[in-house]
Amino acid sequence: MNIKFDFRTKLLVIVLTMSLVAVLTSDILIYTLLGVLSVYLIIQGFGRQTIKYLIVCGVFIVLRLISGGQGITILMPEMFLFMVLRILMMVMAAQPVIGMPPGEVVAVFKKIHAPDGIALPVTFMLRFFPTVRSEFSDVFASLRLRKLLSWKHPLDAMEYIVTPVIFRSSRIAEELAASAESRGISNPGKHTCRRKIEFQKRDWIMCVIAVCVTVLYFVLERTVA
């Protein structure tokens, strides 16, 4: 399934989830909320990510069961386990926003009339994210081939890793900016967008459901606690 919601709907879900995880104390409610969030993600086509999140959550749930309220050694006190599970749920709620295609993010920024000072760097940032890893991995591969990486000289290693990455990033920044300028990015007139950002019927439905679920959980929390 792949239902697309408006970004405002997604933001509402984040805020509601956050307010819930901040007050829910009952484990059962937390675990069922996990299920509700999974459904929310799956209908938007985030099946794979949902499985990953559930596995990580599962690990922490098991850790909590093992610890039985005592925490596991000094490294993982009970409150840490308590917090991580809740932070994970907030990240799950944020997944649809994090996973928005960059084109749509740019459209949203245009829609809300974000100042260029923020909107432009965000555009470039989203563009560069997927390539960062490959830029670094080339540098590491080359360093390994030339046998220049050594733990004995951490400062040299830092220099060798950081310098080429900075040069490369800086060059890409310049070339991208040149390409953007030659395609009119700084045109002062009106910019349009091929992606329409609209609050549709399904968004209304989703918002109503989200609010109802939240209210329900609040009520349950009162009665259970």
- The answer to the question of residue 121 lying near another protein (CB under 8 A) is yes
66 part of the interface to another protein, by CB under 8 A: no
Nearer to another protein (CB atom), residue 58 or residue 205: 58
- Between 179 and 200, whose beta carbon lies closer to another protein? 179
The smaller minimum CB distance to another protein, of residues 1 and 75, is found at 75
Subset of 148-167 contacting another protein (CB under 8 A) = 148, 155, 158-160, 162-167
Residues 31-50 contacting another protein, CB under 8 A:
none
Distance CA 8, CA 11 (A): 5
Q: Output the smallest distance, CB 164 to another protein, in A.
A: 5
| Contacts (CB under 8 A) with another protein, residues 164-183 | 164-183
DSSP secondary structure string for all residues of 135-164:
HHHHHHHHHHHTT---TT-HHHHHHHHHHH
**Contacting range for another protein; rule: CB under 8 A; set: 40-48, 70-78, 202-210, 212-220:** 70-78
Contact pick of 39, 51, 65, 131 for another protein (by CB under 8 A): 131
Nearer to another protein, 170 or 205 (CB): 170
**Contact status: 68 vs another protein (CB under 8 A):** no
In the shown chain, the binding pattern of residues 180 to 219 toward another protein, with x for contact by CB under 8 A and - for none, equals xxxxxxxxxxxxxxxxx-----------------------
Judge residue 80's burial from the number of C-beta atoms within 10 Å of its C-beta, 0-12 exposed, 13-18 middle, 19 or more buried: middle
| CB contact at 8 A, 95 and 46 | yes
- Give CB contacts under 8 A, 24+ apart, made by 43-51: 43/1, 43/3, 44/1, 44/2, 44/3, 44/4, 44/5, 44/96, 45/1, 45/2, 45/3, 46/95, 46/96, 46/99, 49/95, 49/99, 50/92
